[in-house]
Chain A
Amino acid sequence: MIAQAIVDGFLSGAVVALGAIGVTFSLSILRFANFSHGDMLAVGGYVALFVLALVAGPGMLNSSFLSTPIAPFSFGWGVPLALLFAMVVAVAVALLLDALVFKRLRARGADPLTLVFASFGLALVLRNLVLLLFGPDAHNYSNEIQMAVRLPGPVLVLPDQILVFGVTLVVLAVLWFFLQRTRYGMAMRSVAENPVLSSIAGIDIASTIRLTWIVSSMLAALAGVFYGVTVQVRPEMGLNLLLPLFTAAILGGVGSVSGAVLGALIISLCENLLSLVIPSTYKPLVPFVLLLLILYFRPAGLFAPKGR
């Protein structure tokens, strides 16, 4: 039971980590708490659902190649294609929202709290748009039955979950390389610490902010699609994930990508382990309690970048 809870914690934590990285970017580079980030996960998840419905539906775009599951997984090549579309649409939506709302507010010298309230409003718009277009019901990407893999413990894991976890690890490695080794990644890190000094060094802050939206929304779309693959998509999924995402970012230390990942794993492990001893209806309380504890005992987070 405990081994199963630990493995489940790691698997669900991987999806939360992808979303939490976007939150930590928002807090450190964009310098406000973006409460619409959770709903960007939902946008990604639902765009993928739309693409999958097209390739599996009766219309002209029907493709058995894309909709036939690839054993041992529950889905076919349609999911990678849908993921690609989800990322493109999420990036477009993020850049559009920035251009229409956040950029204008920054130009007027709005304080971070104004941006936070604007993000609240946008979250409601996105959530209700999803509700309007797709209805209130939950949807699965696939109804195929999968055979669980039996690991020592004994622990049962679905092939979809193993794949999602593996791809998440690869994405995190690529992100680490991007941030540590490329000039654009270094620009994002420097703007997170000191925008004025960055601009003096020749870094265009406006471009770096756009890049931050692009990276964050791509990761959000990825997390949303992975959530759809391993759980299901629901219009309120963004709202439900918001607290774990923010808790992970704050627990890990604002501005720390590795901290956000570790924070997400800690939250998911706590949720899954505690669900062995408390009713599962209290599970959403876990990130809330962790957030209160971290804010009380270590407000800078566990792995905050030194020197900031």
Chain B
Amino acid sequence: MSTRTHLLRAEGVVAGYARDLPIVHGVTVGVAPGEILVILGPNGAGKSTLVKSLAGVVPKFGGKVLLDGNDVTAMPAHRLASAGVGFVPQNANVFTSLTVHENLRIGGYLLSRVDLKRRLDEAYARFPDLGLRRGHAGHALSGGQRQMLAIARALMMAPRLLLLDEPSAGLSPLMVSEVFTNVRKIADSGIAVLMVEQNVKAGLRIADRGLILVTGSTAYEGDARSLQDDPVVAQLYLGRHADTHVDATTHATDGSAA
């Protein structure tokens, strides 16, 4: 795990939809300001459940979550939003019956009138395409535009931590590139980004660090470049042949326990 000071530090998180059937088993993650941590793994590994539990929309049954040193483990989703956590779910991530402008206003629900106006201007400056469609209903947007709107909505509260659940899902390669370029810019502005991603190559390309979940537990962890070059990761997740065979449950590229 990185030695940078973590904004988010989650230790031994156990989460799922039923207490007696957890999906995430004692996962520890940390992400620093300006850093992108990408969480990879096969289907059913618990990636989305982990990020949803960090956003407060899936219950945690164990572990501790610290945000800037403050314990936010039991904090509900609506309070996490005001504490500086933005979340973009994979599905149903915009209000389809509301306009682009209304979606953004909902994103800034807790802001004062003056701050709301300023953040709206910033959102339209950051995503000019949305500015051209501010009166369009969410259901009338393309997949890429919806993803941009979802991210813009999550940024309205100027979060310190942005949680993204598969932002490239269902997008064309061109839109994936655009979305990821924006995600990198967001991180470069000082926001910590924790991103679940199925698109391993694209995810690792923009990330600083990566973590691979297998059946709800951490299997690999390390900096993004070393994960890209790791022969086992390449074989299992990037579709390349590896020269060596390593036990997937014990390997950690940066030497940290996995």
The residues of A that contact B86 with a CB separation of less than 8 Å are 200
- CB-based contact B57/A199 at 8 Å: yes
Which chain A residue has the least Cβ–Cβ distance from B86? A200
B contacts with A, residue count (CB < 8 A): 31
For the complex, is A306 an interface residue (Cβ under 8 Å from B)? yes
Q: Which size class do A's interface residues fall under?
A: 20 to 34
B78 at the interface (CB under 8 A from A): yes
- Contact flag A193-B89 (CB < 8 Å), given A202-B109, A306-B139: no
Partner-contacting stretch, out of A95-103, A184-192, A264-272: A184-192
With known contacts A183-B109, A194-B92, A196-B57, A204–B78 Cβ distance under 8 A: yes
| Chain B residues, CB < 8 A from A199 | 56-57, 76-78, 81
CB pair A197–B109 under 8 Å, yes or no, is: no
Provide the bound-state CA to CA distance between A193 and B106, in Å: 12
Bound Cα distance A199, B102 (Å): 16
**Interface-located stretch among B93-101, B200-208, B230-238:** B93-101
Return A15 CB to nearest CB of chain B, in Å: 28
**Chain B CB within 10 Å, residue with most, of A194, A198, A202:** A202
Residues in B neighbouring A153, C-beta threshold 8 A? none
Asked if A201 is at the interface of the complex by the 8 Å CB criterion, the answer is yes
Any A CB within 8 A of the CB of B105: yes
CB interface residues, B 114-170, toward A, < 8 Å: 137-139, 153-154, 156-157
Known A202-B78, A204-B78; judge A193-B98 contact (CB<8 A): yes
CB distance from A66 to the nearest CB of B (A): 41
Q: Tell me if A308 and B97 are in contact (CB < 8 A).
A: yes
Residues of B within 8 A of A306 (CB): 96-97, 137, 139
- Which residues of chain A in 154-211 are interfacial with respect to chain B, using CB atoms and an 8 Å cutoff? 183, 186-187, 189-190, 193-194, 196-205
Question: Does A307 sit at the interface, judged by CB under 8 A?
Answer: yes
Q: What is the minimal beta-carbon distance from B211 to any residue of chain A, in angstroms?
A: 22
Q: What chain A residues lie within 8 Å of B95 (beta carbons)?
A: 189-190, 193-194, 197
CB–CB B157/A200 < 8 A:
no
Does A305 interact with chain B (Cβ within 8 Å)?
Answer: yes
Contacts of A255 in B (CB 8 A): 97
Q: Let me know if A205 and B78 touch, CB within 8 A.
A: yes
Q: Inside 8 A of B56's CB, which chain A residues have their CB?
A: 199
> Are B96 and A307 in touch, CB under 8 angstroms?
yes
Separation of A255 and B86 alpha carbons in the complex (Å): 27
Question: What is the distance, in angstroms, from B50's C-beta to the closest C-beta of chain A?
Answer: 16
Instruction: Indicate if the CB atoms of B78 and A203 lie closer than 8 Å.
Output: yes
Task: Kindly identify which residue among B106, B137, B156 contacts A190, using a CB–CB cutoff of 8 Å.
Answer: B106
Are B97 and A305 in contact, CB atoms less than 8 angstroms apart? yes
Instruction: Indicate if the CB atoms of B81 and A201 lie closer than 8 Å.
Output: yes
CB–CB B96/A193 < 8 A: yes
Q: Is the CB of B105 within 8 A of A186?
A: yes
Residue of B nearest to A304 (CB): B97
Complex: A137 Cα to B245 Cα, angstroms: 87
CB-CB under 8 A for A202 and B82, given A186-B105, A186-B106, A187-B109: yes
* Chain A residues positioned under 8 Å from B10 (CB to CB): none
- B30 CB-CB contact with A under 8 Å: no
Residues of A near B110 (CB, < 8 A) are 202
Distance between B99 CB and nearest chain A CB, rounded to angstroms: 11
A202 engages B157 (CB within 8 Å): yes
Q: Once bound together, how far apart are the Cα atoms of A198 and B77, in whole Å?
A: 9
Tell me whether A200 and B77 are in contact (CB under 8 A): yes
Cα A186 to Cα B116 in complex, Å, equals 14
Q: Are A201 and B106 in contact (CB under 8 A)?
A: yes
**A197 near B92: Cβ-Cβ < 8 Å:** yes
Enumerate chain A residues within 8 angstroms of B109, measured Cβ to Cβ: 183, 186-187, 201-203
Mask of B51-79 contacts with A, CB within 8 angstroms, 1/0: 00001110000000000000000001110
| Interface status of B220 (Cβ within 8 A of chain A) | no
Taking the complex as formed, is B107 at the interface, i.e. its CB lies under 8 A from any CB of chain A?
yes
Q: Measured between alpha carbons, how far is A189 from B98 in the docked complex, in Å?
A: 8
Q: Is the CB of B96 within 8 A of A200?
A: no
Contact A193 B97 (CB under 8 A): yes
Contact B76 A197 (CB under 8 A): no
Contact between B87 and A200, CB atoms less than 8 A apart: yes
Q: How far is the CB of A257 from chain B (nearest CB, A)?
A: 12
Knowing that A197-B92, A201-B106 touch, tell me 7 more A-B residue pairs with CB under 8 angstroms. Answer: A183-B105, A197-B93, A199-B81, A200-B78, A200-B89, A201-B107, A306-B139
Interface of A toward B, CB cutoff 8 Å: 183, 186-187, 189-190, 193-194, 196-205, 255, 305-308
- Sorted nearest first, the 6 A-B pairs with minimum C-beta distance are A307-B139, A307-B96, A202-B81, A199-B77, A305-B97, A202-B110
Q: List 8 A-B contacts (CB under 8 A).
A: A186-B102, A189-B95, A197-B89, A197-B94, A200-B154, A255-B97, A306-B96, A308-B97
